[in-house]
Amino acid sequence: MPRRIAIQRSVMAADEKIAEKIRKDLSKRGVLMLNLIGSPGSGKTSLLEWTLKDTLFRSVVLEGDVATSRDAERIARTGTPVVQINTRGGCHLEANLVEKALEGLEMDGVDVVFVENVGNLVCPAEFDLGEDHKVALCSVPEGPDKPLKYPHLFMRAEAVLLTKVDLLELLGFDRDLFWKDVKELNPRAERLEVSALRGDGMSDWVSLVQSWVRAKRP
Ligand SMILES: Nc1nc2c(ncn2[C@@H]2O[C@H](COP(=O)(O)OP(=O)(O)OP(=O)(O)O)[C@@H](O)[C@H]2O)c(=O)[nH]1
Ligand SMILES: [Mg+2]
Ligand SMILES: [Zn+2]
């Protein structure tokens, strides 16, 4: 078994170098990259569909899924350039996949690369894709206890979004507990409540992305 561990380490080390290269290349161009991470169905694609209605920044999207191009088809309907990455069983994106996906995209004039990671609350947090920020999504139906049970993502995220807040009352969601635990894990993270169904919090989210875009411009 030790041999297997060594192989995994070297693969991860190579991938970390690719992530650094992606970060450097995008920074030279003044392009922001965001890595959206959350459970399957937490509302990542819905958040993007809403965000891409905004024309103040130009975006491209990389869609990570185990199989199908369904999410890429949804994004393409917004008119935004998109590449689908299928991991064929893999439960997270890696920098080498992102590097390949970026090769085919025209980046002139682009402000933001949104990466939707594979739906998974656990290991995507461990893999650097070369992003500027990780954005954690947790939806109301998942329950308020998730931050402490799956802490790594919440600890590393620059922003935590509680999604589907239109369901707060229906599901008796304890939002005080949720935010108390998030603050305990990561007091500096931006904290937003959004609903892609009703539009709650979307202008705050778009403003946050815009502030990151401005900070990135040369
Ligand atoms: N009530 C409610 N439902 C939502 C909201 N946002 C998304 N949904 C629904 O939640 C389901 C999953 O949404 P997606 O945006 O596809 O979730 P996802 O995180 O991209 O899912 P994967 O890509 O499979 O991991 C869909 O049926 C959406 O219509 C919301 O704000 N409120
Ligand atoms: Mg999706
Ligand atoms: Zn994984």
CA distance linking residue 185 with residue 147, whole number of Å: 8
Task: Indicate if ligand 1 lies below 6 Å from the C-beta of 177.
Answer: no
Give distance in angstroms: CA of 195 to centre of ligand 1.
10
Question: CB–CB of 64/90 below 8 Å?
Answer: no
Domains and CATH numbers, the chain: 2-216 (3.40.50.300)
pLDDT at 3: 61
pLDDT at res. 8: 61
Distance CA 182, CA 191 (A): 9
What global pTM score does this model have? Answer: 0.95
| CB-CB contact of 194 with 202 (8 Å) | yes
Quickly list DSSP for 51-72: HTT--SS-EEEEEEESS-SHHH
Ligand 1 pocket test, pick from 37, 45, 46, 91 with the greatest ligand atom count within 8 Å of Cβ, gives 46
Q: Whose CA is nearest to atom 9 of ligand 1?
A: 43
Q: How many angstroms from the chain centroid is the CA of residue 27?
A: 18
pLDDT at position 1 is 53
The pLDDT assigned to 54 comes to 67
Give the pLDDT score at 218. 77
Cβ of 168 closer than 6 Å to ligand 1, yes or no, is no
The answer to whether the CB of 119 is under 6 A from ligand 1 is yes
Which residues of the chain have a pLDDT value below 70? Answer: 1-10, 54
Closest CA to 202 of 73, 60, 52: 52
CA 170 vs CA 164, 166, 197, 199: distances in Å: 11, 8, 15, 18
SS3 labels along 1-12: CHHHHHHHHHHH
pLDDT at 104 (0 to 100) = 83
Q: What is the rounded distance in angstroms from the CA atom of residue 11 to the CA atom of residue 106? A: 28
